[in-house]
Amino acid sequence: MPVSGGIRHDLTTTAFTIDGYRIVRNVGLVRGIIVRSRSVFGTIGASLQTLVGGNITLFTELCERTRSDAFEQMLAHAAQMGANAVVGVRYDATEVMQGVSEVLCYGTAVVVEPQ
């Protein structure tokens, strides 16, 4: 199982429970925030991809990398607070300015133990 910041990925969920585990302590809100901008070259490449239609892979890869980085930051924050799991995981994105976006990954850090 992949582990980030001391927290196994299978102990993160959008639900508020984890099958086979019980929450023994609520540690609190945790978050990971990434602010990224598109590069000039990436924007030109993506513009060319729009001419043919379909998936714009340059932006897809940028978005996926940004979400992954925000997720990893959130897990590191949870581990720093003494958690071993995160429930209620959500993402939010906001355009801060033209071409600059913020991606926020947040959830509730908890301590779980097997049932």
pLDDT of residue 44: 55
Q: Is 108 within 8 Å of 88 (Cβ atoms)? A: yes
CB atoms within 10 A of CB 57: 11
Beta strands per DSSP E along 45-99 = 85-97
Closest C-alpha among 30, 4, 12 to residue 87: 12
Give tens-digit pLDDT for 36-73. Answer: 776 544 555 545 555 555 566 667 787 889 999 999 99
d(CA 64, CA 58): 10
The CATH superfamily of 3-114 is: Hypothetical protein apc22750. Chain B (3.30.110.70)
> Which pTM was predicted?
0.80
Mean per-residue pLDDT of the chain: 85
Closest C-alpha among 42, 49, 53, 17 to residue 100: 42
Q: How confident is the model at residue 16 (pLDDT cuts 50, 70, 90)?
A: very high
pLDDT of 21 above 60: yes
Domain ranges of the chain: 3-114
